[in-house]
A = this chain, B = another copy of it.
Amino acid sequence: MSDTKTRILDAAEQLFGRNGFESTSLRAITTEAQVNLAAVNYHFQSKDALIDAVLERRIGPVTRRRLEMLDVAEADPAGLTLEKVIEAFAAPVVEAAMGQPGLAPLMGRIMATPGAFLERVFLRYMEAVKSRFLPALLRSGVRLPPEELFWRLHFMVGSLAHVLVFAPVMPAMSNGLCQLNDGRAIVNRLVAFCAAGMRAPVEQMEKEA
């Protein structure tokens, strides 16, 4: 399984996460993967198709796991808490990211980069997630005006994306205070923070003069 194609995918994943898609040259990838430059265009057709393949390989399993966890949580409607819904959203991506070194920033980049790449991913995977998680949030007892709910979901995704993007530098940034070896602990902190934020009282808007 350590054939050329896989080695290219592995190297591309690391470098895309570290430097972004457009700043990563095919030459950098083939050097890191120790394969020939032409191998990229043989196994994939273009750099764009390689990007798709890199995303495809990781996002599919995470999306499936998210929906699985949500299924489990929703199987017991009475016990469906806000925390369980948020955990189903956050845990799969955090665990996947922490399990494979260098994967986190790529995941974060996908969530935090608007434009062509996000749309490509969003339309293909996130639509299913959104259509399942929004109703689940409501069923879990969240009572918010639609606009407020959308903003708070946005804040939540931002927290999650930020954790992933900064994962490689987090220990250094915090002077060793924050470590990443325990993905479960990170998810727990994130869930506690976001659940409390979701339950915050809705600010009354002042009337304009």
Contacts and interface: CB of A to CB of B under 8 A. Distances in A.
Interface of A: 18-20, 22-23, 105, 112-115, 146-148, 150-152, 154-163, 165-166, 168-170, 174, 177-178, 185-186, 188-203, 205
B152 A162 contact: no
B189 A195 contact: no
B192 A203 contact: yes
Copies of this chain per assembly: 2
Contacts of A168: 114
Contact of A194 (B178, B186, B197): B197
A189 B148 contact: yes
Contacts of A190: 155
A153 B134 CA distance: 26
Given A112-B162, A147-B178, A177-B150, A155 B193 contact: yes
Which of A160, A186, A188, A197 counts the most B-chain CB atoms under 10 A from its CB? A197
A177 B20 contact: no
18 contacts: A20-B20, A20-B23, A105-B114, A112-B161, A112-B162, A147-B174, A147-B177, A147-B178, A151-B193, A152-B189, A154-B162, A155-B190, A158-B158, A158-B162, A188-B205, A189-B203, A196-B196, A196-B197
